[in-house]
Structure 1
Amino acid sequence: MRIALCIEYDGASYSGWQRQSHRLCVQECVETAIEKVSEKHHDITCAGRTDAGVHATYQVVHFDTDVVRPLTAWTRGLNSNLPDTVCVRWAKEMNDDFHARFSATARRYRYIIFNDELRPGILKGGVSHVYYPLNAELMNQAAQCLVGEHDFTSFRAANCQSKTPFRTVKKIHVYRQGKYIIMDVEANAFLHHMVRNFIGTLMVVGRELEPVSWVEHVLKLKNRVEAGITAKPNGLYLIDVEYPAHFELPKSDLGPLFLQSYTAS
């Protein structure tokens, strides 16, 4: 049978999702927990690999198994064998046509900036602290040129392994909630560091160092060195993965107030 899981994790203590030798990664923690519950090793496939320090509230994975266990074994059982910073939110038995990565039609990320002169005492690993003032409205205006299908070479990491720089951004929204500036972005898929490079570039406009039109200019240049810095990973969350309705997967639960969903289209 094929089992799908939703994994939530605080990525601050991990070297990303994907298993690596001599480094602690989220995939290793989950596979180890599955092995303890099933008494067999299983390789798992995720919807989207996250980098070191990046978090997730809705990472979807699947694995195939011939071990018969109740679904509670894949939720409570796994959680009892996982670190406090990783948990399973739900488990569901799926047909063989479901694939955590290839069945996904969109991914949604959220980047959270704590915009205040003084650093936060808590949430250090969960937000990116920016001490200088940022104009969220200007950032949002500048971001709209990124919507649609584009060559995002200006926003991909130098070591990005994707065969094509083209991606389709479905929506992007930057807004302020008190001292927090939040960017939500949804796309069919993302290039390596694409979201963090978006926010690093938009912050230049937010500081009013460049006009709103500058981001579109950077996009058209197709040159990474012309864009802004790669923003820190600790403010970034994978918050949703979209699948065709017939799979009937539970909806994303964004949890804490500063992760609440926005209502703008």
Structure 2
Amino acid sequence: MKPLELDVFLCRTDNFGVLVHDPETGLTAAIDAPEEAPILEAATRRGWKISHIFTTHHHTDHVSANLALKEQFGCEIIGPINEAVAIPGLDRTMADGDSFLFGDHTVKVIETPGHTAGHICYHFVDDKLLFAADMWHSLQKLAVLPDETAVYFGHEYTLSNARFALTIDPDNERLKSRAAEVEALRADGKFTIPTTLGLEKETNPFLRAADPAIRRNLIMEGKTNEEVFAEIRKRKDNF
């Protein structure tokens, strides 16, 4: 089985567009459809025909090009069952634990409510690829995946996130190094996508609510992981 090919590009202001291509079957999936023109440009540049759209959630900046792409390519649109009524052109619904084949590549659906109530992630099991989201209980589902899993996120927020993380976890040397790397990448106009689960476990405070240093910094040593996470989330909202 040949490895999947990926093309990552910007849509709108800070959305990422991602095309996933199976060279053996010619199938090409867009992970969400934020904006028609950049997706068409990427598909044309690579010579790929979009056969699927894998929708993570119903927000407009993730589904606005659904109908235009479906009209042009006749692609199948897959999305979360709990947001079915809000996703334009949806053909097939997926729930937590469902899996399906993309060519010969197994895709498992992980329900990750938080960003929206019905949000789902797509885990390409054999390829160790994850197209993902946020929030504490949802993150715990993702954190058990292999550390080398490559994580493709939907927005270029890494620089802001790294700066915020340093306010919560200022003595984390791996975080300091990562923040410097991100600063350099963005200064050069380069993307920070993908990351890995292993790196996120080392540097992302939303995955580190149990860490003693973070708890000391927040003066929350006796609190639950959920309470620490909620405090981090509140601080991020106000950052």
**TM-score when scaled to structure 1?**
0.28
Q: Which has the higher strand share?
A: 1
Higher relative contact order (CA 8 A, sep 6+): 1
Q: TM-score, normalised by structure 2?
A: 0.30
